Amino acid sequence: MHAWLCTTPTGVDALTWTELPSPAPKAGEVLVEIKAASLNFPDLLIVQNKYQMKPPLPFVPGSEYAGVVQAVGEGVTHLQPGQNVACLSGTGGFGTHTIAPAALCMPLPPGFPHVDAAAFIMIYATSHHALVDRAQLKAGETVLILGAAGGVGTAAIQIAKAMGAKVIAAASTDEKCALCTSLGADATINYGKEDLREAIKRLTEGKGPDVIYDPVGGDFAEPAFRSIAWRGRYLVVGFASGPIPALPLNLPLLKGASIVGVFWGEFAKREPKANAAMMMELAQWYAQGKIKPVIDRTMPMAELPAAFARMGSRSVQGKLVLVN
């Protein structure tokens, strides 16, 4: 097998495409032949030693992938060789094969392509947990989504629309705003050229959004929060722009509003039954055509450095997927 190996976590340039011994699955594990692996934001951080999870060296990056089970270890009964699966295991995806914990592998129903499956779990699980569970979004409410053309942002648009909410999608270019409109957003804000607060005021007739979904952080957090509706819920999803914002605590007081943390990975660990039910619902929504990953493009696995460069330059719309 071959994989992109990280021996020193100093960045993408230090990754090498390396031949490795073919592994055999131990108890509770499966060997997966990888067909597709998507890029998630933490993949870029982990190879720079900037992510909270620091795997022992050397490791193969690639948090999320889909492929075909080749062999199963002792005690694995719900998967067989030949089964198509999607998996989010944190590492191992950027290669031709990997060993995955069987418990983290989601069997794929017929008609679920590997490219969609590799781009599915992280973004939909995060956005469903955020909007349904944490924000308790209701039909008819208005949700503002920042970074709306990115991975979790595009998933948030589709889920909010499936729930009957009104969606205002905010992104940095007209092209990204056009993508959001094509996904069903009711209105868009190009925060690359429009004043965010003025645009929110205009689009909500001064009331403000009931829910704000923020995977970007940085300079937009405070103006967005200042615009929130009475009893609004502000979802802290991530900090793709870099800086972690600080908010004056008089702001939630003045709006009777809540700042709501979202950490899907920890939710999945602490509340596995609720997570499994959520994943089941998402798979049904996919089968019914209510949600479908936006694939920016596919690239050969060998082009991982170019794929990372595209993500780092803020060019990806939806998800970028590497294929074998």
Nearer to ligand NAP, 33 or 194 (CB): 194
Q: Which amino acid is at 199?
A: A
CB of 161 to ligand NAP, least distance (A): 17
Q: Are strands 84-88 and 64-72 parallel, antiparallel or unpaired?
A: antiparallel
CB of 31 to ligand NAP, least distance (A): 27
Structure token pair of residue 56: 């022992």
Nearer to ligand NAP, 254 or 306 (CB): 306
CB of 220 to ligand NAP, least distance (A): 8
CB of 68 to ligand NAP, least distance (A): 25
Nearer to ligand NAP, 25 or 318 (CB): 318
Question: Within 10 A of 83 (CB to CB), how many other CB atoms are there?
Answer: 17
Nearer to ligand NAP, 119 or 229 (CB): 119
User: Which positions lie near ligand NAP, rule CB under 6 A?
Assistant: 40-42, 122, 126, 147, 149-153, 171-172, 176, 215-216, 237-242, 262-265, 311, 314, 316
Which helix (DSSP H) or strand (DSSP E) does residue 19 occupy?
Answer: strand 16-19
Q: What are phi and psi of 156, to 5 degrees?
A: -65, -40
Contact yes or no for 48/99 (Cβ under 8 A): no
Nearer to ligand NAP, 244 or 302 (CB): 244
Q: What are phi and psi of 229, to 5 degrees?
A: -75, 165
CB of 19 to ligand NAP, least distance (A): 30
CB of 237 to ligand NAP, least distance (A): 5
CB of 291 to ligand NAP, least distance (A): 15
Structure token pair of residue 13: 């340039």
CB of 146 to ligand NAP, least distance (A): 7
Q: SS3 sequence, 192-246?
A: CCCCHHHHHHHHCCCCCCCEEEECCCHHHHHHHHHCCCCCCEEEECCCCCCCCCC
CB of 96 to ligand NAP, least distance (A): 24
CA 316 from chain centre, in angstroms, equals 13
Taking CB positions, which residue lies at the least distance from ligand NAP?
A: 150
Structure token pair of residue 92: 């191992």
Nearer to ligand NAP, 44 or 229 (CB): 44
Q: Which residue has the tokens 């108890």?
A: 27
Structure token pair of residue 121: 């779990």
Structure token pair of residue 40: 């998630």
Nearer to ligand NAP, 30 or 88 (CB): 88
Nearest in space to 67 (alpha carbons), one of 31, 18, 28: 31
Nearer to ligand NAP, 290 or 310 (CB): 310
Nearer to ligand NAP, 30 or 211 (CB): 211
Contact yes or no for 153/169 (Cβ under 8 A): yes
Contact yes or no for 148/176 (Cβ under 8 A): yes
Contact yes or no for 220/113 (Cβ under 8 A): no
